[in-house]
Structure 1
Amino acid sequence: MCDISATGTQAFNCFKGKRKLWELSAKLLCPVIGTCLTTSEIRKLAEKIVDKEQARKSDYWLHTWIVSNCDVKHHLSLTVQKHLDKKFTAAIKRFGLIKCRDELKPVWQQHIDRGSSAEALWALLTHPLCDLTIEDMAYETIHMLSHQIGAGQRADLKRLHTVEKELLELKKSSDKSQQKSHQTISSKEWQLDDLQQQLADIKADNLQLKEHCQRLERQGNNNAAALELKQLQNKVASQNTSLEILDKQKLQWQQKLQHSKDNILGLTQKLQLQRQESRSLEGLVKQSLSPCNRCSAASCTDCPDLKGLKILCVGGQPRMTEQYRELVSRCNGEFSHHDGGVEDRSKRLDAMLWSADAVICASDCISHDAYYRLKRFCKQHNKRHLYIPSSGISSFAKAMDDVANEISCVNL
């Protein structure tokens, strides 16, 4: 695996083929297992290799168990090796094209920049050209990423508290607005009833006046009758003017009433969306702080089960990618990301859309070309897709709930 030079410095032999899991140094096993395998994958391996009882133990126990048993070649380490090779086949092929050691670092950095740390770590460490210097570089990068993810989870909790506070304030504001709107509607409905009664009275008076005018016309055209007829005609004209004014007022009140109802409906929908996002984010943060133990996807109400679906996120803020990946992995899904045409080539989007089971589009940070390309593709091929209005973690958590519940083509 490696040779000792004349100076006593250990250097890897670059011509002995792809390295295996048990051939890695001891300090690398922990970050490799922790980064490249999800908790659900470790539980499935434990259930397959040992028994269901062992698979029900805590996440930390399972992590420690698999790390401590992969430093030598046996059934467990061979199974993990086979699983990781299959899981990261595409990355291994990309790194396999590299024939010069100096090309490893730029390709590694490209994967890290777009949030593909797990596949890059496995493909790099098992590459025949990987030496101690590159190993240390990868170890340091993954170590710092783990700190950043932990900080991101604390930020999620802080955001959850902020969202809950905003939700409470929005609910109070909505309740006040609804109460005020209901009062306004009641008042306007009463005024409309009063106007309608006035209209009915005026129409009845007009009918009586017309009948009286007709009687006067039949009686003769004497001066007294003509004067009374003229007065009645003026009164009818005045009543008609009042009727037109009341009709206009009625129309204005009806428009104001409809506007108030539309405002109430909009506030109700906004409050409902805030509640759904808050519940989704609360469940995921609660699960990250106290991971589910001895539960199944059917019984766990905090964690939406994606059932191994491949989730493609298009657009969004780059700094949120690792948090998206962590949430999808936590919910038993596979995550991939396209930045929406900022740096990733737009033609690459079609290939990623083909391989995805569901697509989540963060519409606040995406190019027009990528947005319409995604929309057109998903409609033509009946691909499940959802749009979220922002890159916030709560909107993404709500979208994962909708994917797990088979809700698609939604504009959040």
Structure 2
Amino acid sequence: MPSLPRLTSPQPGPSGVFLPLQAPAAKAGSQRLRTWDIPTTFHCSIIGTCLTAGELRQILVKAGQEDARTATDHALHGRGVRLAGQRDHAAKLLNKALDKRHESAIKRIPRQADEAALRSIWRESFDRGDIAGPYWALMSHPGSPQALIRDIFGEVHMLSHLVGSASRLDIARLTRLEKDLALAHEKSERQEQRLRTAADERVALQQRIRQLEEKLVQAQASAAASRQASPATGATDRVETGSNRANTFAEQLVAAEETIGGLQRALDHSQDLSNALLRENEALEAMLAERTRSGERQDAVAMPGPVLYVGGRRNLFDHLRACAENRRVDLLLHDGGMEDSTTLLPALVGQAATVLFPVDHISHTAVGLVKRLCREQGKSYLPLRSAGLASFLAAITGAYGRL
């Protein structure tokens, strides 16, 4: 089989990576190239693009390198690059794995295709995101000219930089969201504990009421029996005593019912707060799950127009903008008069379809002004539980219902 000799005088390519001065062209119709026939300059991109770390690990273990089972991904990559330039049994296993892994892509490219056809195949594959298979198929194709090899290598090289940069940004955002979600979970657990305590107190009060009712019934029955069995002398005093006890029990019953009513109202308020926290948690979990699966922007509930956020903490404004942009929400911001003038609010309310404001981080003056402007201009507004990112995210993703 004809081999492709390696050149010893590389020149820097357009991406700053040293490329061979001139890669020999193989005759059309000859056998496909193997890794050791390809200049070593391209081995790093071939191994990193066309094989996963798991596949490379299996190849090295099969080649007798048992320590590859615990090696890091970076160490595996270095071994694979060195192996690609050899001609031993392990290199043949590597080349065979590449051919088998991308067999369908290899079969789609005719052996006798000219440069224009090969470029067309690469462009179509690249545009639809199918990179690994066509890259190996074209790099090992006997008819791939030097210009095509240089161009596709440059595109793959730059694509790796773009993907790495985007991944770092996604990891940073994911870390922030995980911290916010952990805080929300802690708040939810504390709220659930308070709800359980209130429920226990309510059960205890209900038991106490039943005991008082039973005593009241017994006292009334005892008073009636005393009236019937006792002679006239002294009967009036016993009846009055029984009546006084019954009145006392009745007063205690009324007081207990009032206490239960207060506890019930507190329990209802706590339940509403817990439901709000659960909705915020669900919104955060859905966002994290979507970023973990694809890293793409998540479609949100269609908003009727721009959303104005008044108040809150200025150090979170960048995060609010990022969440809104990720859900295609047109967000307007005003800090409620801390630094931004309140004279801007009428115009901003006029632009917005919906106004949001956190009740825990806005002045009473700003709240009154926002409500009055919304009533005058016929705009809807929604108070948020807190100035945190979770409450805002729950609102724009529809966790509180359509705005």
TM-score (norm 1): 0.51
Deviations 1:38-84 (A, max 9, x none): xxxxxxxxxxxxxxx99x968xxxxxxxxxxxxxxxxxxxxxxxxxx
Deviations 1:152-184 (A, max 9, x none): 552221121232244245435534543x23531
CA deviation after TM superposition for structure 1 residue 377, in Å: 1.4
Deviations 1:81-114 (A, max 9, x none): xxxxxxxxxxxxxxxxxxxxxxxxxxxxxxxxxx
| Partner SS for 2:234 | helix
**Is 1:342 paired with 2:345?**
no
Q: Is the CA contact (8 Å cut-off) linking 2:308 and 2:333 kept in structure 1?
A: yes
**Is 1:238 paired with 2:241?**
yes
CA deviation after TM superposition for structure 1 residue 351, in Å: 0.4
C-alpha separation between the residues in 2 aligned to 1:365 and 1:177? 28
CA 1:307–1:237 in structure 2 vs 1: closer, same or farther (change >3 Å)? Answer: closer
Q: Which consecutive residues of structure 2, in runs of 5 or more, have no partner in the other structure?
A: 1-123, 130-166
Aligned AA (1:348): L
Q: Is the CA contact (8 Å cut-off) linking 1:359 and 1:386 kept in structure 2?
A: yes
Aligned AA (2:184): V
Equivalence for 2:38: none
CA deviation after TM superposition for structure 1 residue 361, in Å: 0.8
Q: Is the CA contact (8 Å cut-off) linking 1:313 and 1:360 kept in structure 2?
A: yes
Aligned AA (1:315): G
| Partner SS for 1:312 | strand
After TM superposition, the structure 1 stretch with the greater mean CA deviation from structure 2, 151-160 or 348-357, is 151-160
Equivalence for 2:308: 312
**Is 1:154 paired with 2:150?**
no
C-alpha separation between the residues in 1 aligned to 2:217 and 2:284? 53
Aligned AA (2:387): S
CA 1:391–1:57 in structure 2 vs 1: closer, same or farther (change >3 Å)? Answer: farther
CA 1:173–1:367 in structure 2 vs 1: closer, same or farther (change >3 Å)? Answer: closer
C-alpha separation between the residues in 2 aligned to 1:404 and 1:235? 62
C-alpha separation between the residues in 1 aligned to 2:189 and 2:362? 31
C-alpha separation between the residues in 1 aligned to 2:346 and 2:128? 41
Aligned AA (2:370): L
| Partner SS for 1:274 | helix
**Is 1:380 paired with 2:376?**
yes
Q: Where has structure 1 moved over 6 Å in runs of 4 or more?
A: 146-150
Equivalence for 2:195: 174
| Partner SS for 1:340 | coil
Q: Please, which of 190, 193, 217 is the counterpart of residue 213 of structure 2? A: 193
Equivalence for 1:269: 272
Equivalence for 2:289: 286
Aligned AA (1:390): S
C-alpha separation between the residues in 2 aligned to 1:169 and 1:326? 29
| Partner SS for 1:344 | coil
CA deviation after TM superposition for structure 1 residue 289, in Å: 4.4
TM-score (norm 2): 0.52
Q: Which consecutive residues of structure 1, in runs of 5 or more, have no partner in the other structure?
A: 1-52, 59-145, 213-227, 296-301, 408-412
CA 1:206–1:263 in structure 2 vs 1: closer, same or farther (change >3 Å)? Answer: farther
Look at both structures and tell me which one has the larger radius of gyration over its CA atoms.
2
Aligned AA (2:181): L
C-alpha separation between the residues in 1 aligned to 2:243 and 2:400? 63
Write the mapping of 1:61-76 to structure 2, written as runs, cut at 5 A: none
CA 1:202–1:258 in structure 2 vs 1: closer, same or farther (change >3 Å)? Answer: farther
C-alpha separation between the residues in 2 aligned to 1:399 and 1:198? 56
Q: Is the CA contact (8 Å cut-off) linking 1:359 and 1:384 kept in structure 2?
A: yes
Q: Please, which of 358, 365, 370 is the counterpart of residue 369 of structure 1? A: 365
| Partner SS for 1:360 | strand
Aligned AA (1:234): D
CA 1:251–1:406 in structure 2 vs 1: closer, same or farther (change >3 Å)? Answer: same
CA deviation after TM superposition for structure 1 residue 341, in Å: 1.0
C-alpha separation between the residues in 2 aligned to 1:57 and 1:201? 88
C-alpha separation between the residues in 1 aligned to 2:222 and 2:400? 62
CA 1:245–1:327 in structure 2 vs 1: closer, same or farther (change >3 Å)? Answer: same
Q: Please, which of 142, 159, 163 is the counterpart of residue 184 of structure 2? A: 163
**Is 1:395 paired with 2:380?**
no
| Partner SS for 1:332 | coil
C-alpha separation between the residues in 2 aligned to 1:263 and 1:308? 35
CA 1:252–1:202 in structure 2 vs 1: closer, same or farther (change >3 Å)? Answer: farther
| Partner SS for 1:305 | coil
Q: Is the CA contact (8 Å cut-off) linking 2:307 and 2:353 kept in structure 1?
A: yes
Equivalence for 2:324: 328
* Aligned Cα root-mean-square deviation (Å): 3.5
- Give the length in aligned residue pairs: 243
Deviations 1:287-323 (A, max 9, x none): 3444466x9xxxxxx7532347311111111111111
**Is 1:258 paired with 2:261?**
yes
**Is 1:204 paired with 2:224?**
yes
Equivalence for 1:353: 349
| Partner SS for 1:201 | helix
